[in-house]
């Protein structure tokens, strides 16, 4: 990598952009964008208001190239580093929280390797906010007092599936649409009841946000029928019963929560 070609050293701020709604950007994120000279952003970052949020910055979309091919992680790191070495205040804007499945830690390491000052501004993760946008709390007294966030990028191992079933609390899956068949079959094989409620929330916080609710035994068919697609967050657990879906009354919800608390 080249030596800095400007007198002032650059710096990098990894900014968690939240799950897609400008209202869920943190005050620190807004401040960093305001001061940015270069913003490298990708597909799931909240990008609609970027020209206003980062008025002095060169905006670089690293989510796609003209041919619609994603830039490799290695090239993204090279871009971050080279802009910082040229003396720029670089913001790397990522969807959700930079340290949840976003490869943010790799980008921080790349900065450390080149001696570039780097800070991380946490963001609101889709793992929590997207279920909430569908009315689903991840914990509820008497129903679930823990939640586990897993990546569905690759199929889970038998040990992981067994552990999740034994834990018996809420499971949240990101990047899980492609591996939904192996996940549901695996959980059933390890003894989770086919009646366990499952929700899939697609495109959280967009105008086309959609929630599909079924149970572990039926969700595959329902997802296929609805042509469920990424990006989506999956929630597996009793808390899905609390989802407010428009056709539920508040009385229904309260009685569902109450019934469960009474039997657990």
The two tokens of residue 253 are 């919800």
Q: Which is nearer to ligand SAH, 164 or 174 (CB)?
A: 174
Q: Which is nearer to ligand SAH, 32 or 233 (CB)?
A: 233
CB of 209 to ligand SAH, least distance (A): 7
CB of 174 to ligand SAH, least distance (A): 4
Distance CA 149, CA 200 (A): 14
Q: Which is nearer to ligand SAH, 162 or 220 (CB)?
A: 220
Which residue's C-beta sits nearest to ligand SAH? 96
CB of 85 to ligand SAH, least distance (A): 26
User: Using H for helix, E for strand and C for coil, what is the string for 12-68?
Assistant: EEEEECECCCHHHCCHHHHHHHHHCCEEEECCCCCCCCHHHHCCCCEEEECCCCCCC
If we measure between CA atoms, which residue out of 156, 163, 157 comes closest to residue 234? 156
CB of 245 to ligand SAH, least distance (A): 17
Verify whether residue 94 is a known catalytic residue.
Answer: no
Sheet holding 89-94, edge to edge: 58-61, 38-41, 89-94, 11-16, 118-121
Verify whether residue 64 is a known catalytic residue.
Answer: yes
Q: Which is nearer to ligand SAH, 97 or 238 (CB)?
A: 97
Instruction: Supply the DSSP symbol for 172.
Output: E
Q: Exactly one of 1, 48, 49, 64 is catalytic; name it.
A: 64
Binding site for ligand SAH (CB under 6 A): 19-20, 44, 94-97, 100-102, 125-127, 130, 174-175, 203-205, 230-233
CB of 6 to ligand SAH, least distance (A): 31
Distance CA 161, CA 148 (A): 12
Q: Exactly one of 42, 94, 143, 192 is catalytic; name it.
A: 42
- Cα angle: 214, vertex 204, 128; to 5 degrees: 80
Q: Which is nearer to ligand SAH, 39 or 85 (CB)?
A: 39
If we measure between CA atoms, which residue out of 218, 216, 151 comes closest to residue 190? 216
Catalytic residues: 42, 64, 175
């Amino acid at each position: 990598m080249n030596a800095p070609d400007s007198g002032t050293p650059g710096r990098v701020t990894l900014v968690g952009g939240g799950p897609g709604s400008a209202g869920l950007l943190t005050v620190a994120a807004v401040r960093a964008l305001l001061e940015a000279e270069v913003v490298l952003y990708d597909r799931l970052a909240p990008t609609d208001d970027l020209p206003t949020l980062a008025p002095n910055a060169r905006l670089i979309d690293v989510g796609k190239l003209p041919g619609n091919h994603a830039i490799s992680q290695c090239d993204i790191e090279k871009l971050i580093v080279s802009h910082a070495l040229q003396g720029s205040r670089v913001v790397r804007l990522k969807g959700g929280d930079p340290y949840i499945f976003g490869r943010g830690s790799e980008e921080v390491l790349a900065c450390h390797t080149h001696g570039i000052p780097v800070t991380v501004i946490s963001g609101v993760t889709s793992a929590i906010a997207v279920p909430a946008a569908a009315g689903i709390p991840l914990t509820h007294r008497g129903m679930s007092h823990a939640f586990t966030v897993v990546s569905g990028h690759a199929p889970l191992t038998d040990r992981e599936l067994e552990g999740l079933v034994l834990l018996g609390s809420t499971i949240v899956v990101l990047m899980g649409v492609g591996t939904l068949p192996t996940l549901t079959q695996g959980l059933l094989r390890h003894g989770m009841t086919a009646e366990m409620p499952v929700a899939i929330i697609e495109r959280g916080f967009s105008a086309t946000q959609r929630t599909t609710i079924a149970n572990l035994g039926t969700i595959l068919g329902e997802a296929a029928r609805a042509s469920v697609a990424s990006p989506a967050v999956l929630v597996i657990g009793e808390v899905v019963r609390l989802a407010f879906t428009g056709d539920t009354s508040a009385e229904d919800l309260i009685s569902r929560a109450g019934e469960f608390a009474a039997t657990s």
